[in-house]
Amino acid sequence: MVDPLSFPVLAGAALTATITFIYNRIGAVLDRRAGRIAPDLPDTIEGSSEALTVHSESLTEEQVKTLERSAGTLGVYLDHPELLRGDDEKLRETLGKLRTILELAYDRELIFADKQTAGPSLRVTMRSDEVSGIQRGIKAKSVSGPTHINVEQTGKRIAKGGEMTGVEIDGPIG
């Protein structure tokens, strides 16, 4: 899981633009999930030639509720930008959680200011009804340089002797 406080400290226009972007992505996901927009209609992003596929069915009910609650909060910030503070840790935590949920819905990494110069990114999502052997998201001998790793695992039942491991690194990191 991504550390929500790893969301960048942004200020001014960059923070407002980020909140607008996230708010619009939340709207796109919720509209498709509610059937207001055809689920297979790609989401278009202003300034980008790439259309994004929304996989709203991949979200849990809890994640959908988080998006719904957060849309209202972000709407207040958009209506009253004077309330925005780049060093607001609660806001950064919320934005980090929303980024994680939206990356799951879009099945891709969403790039923000902190990731423009970041190293490689690894993302693994696994869902299992039952794990009786070993289920591992990533196994590596080492990790060099700055790397963003996001492993999300859900197992309904782990049988005796079963193992679910997100990341296993058998050597140096960094």
At residue 76, does pLDDT exceed 80?
Answer: yes
Tokens encoding 111: 């790039």
Q: Which of 14-28, 43-57, 104-118, 146-160 has the lowest mean pLDDT?
A: 104-118
> What are the φ/ψ torsions at residue 69 (nearest 5 degrees)?
-65, -45
Give the pLDDT band of residue 140 (cuts 50, 70, 90). confident
pLDDT given at position 67: 96
pLDDT given at position 29: 93
pTM of the model: 0.61
CA–centroid distance for 19 within its chain:
14
pLDDT given at position 112: 64
At residue 22, does pLDDT exceed 50?
Answer: yes
pLDDT given at position 75: 92
Dist CA 158 CA 73 (whole Å): 37
The set of residues, in sequence order, having a beta carbon less than 8 Å from that of 80 and lying 6+ positions away, is none
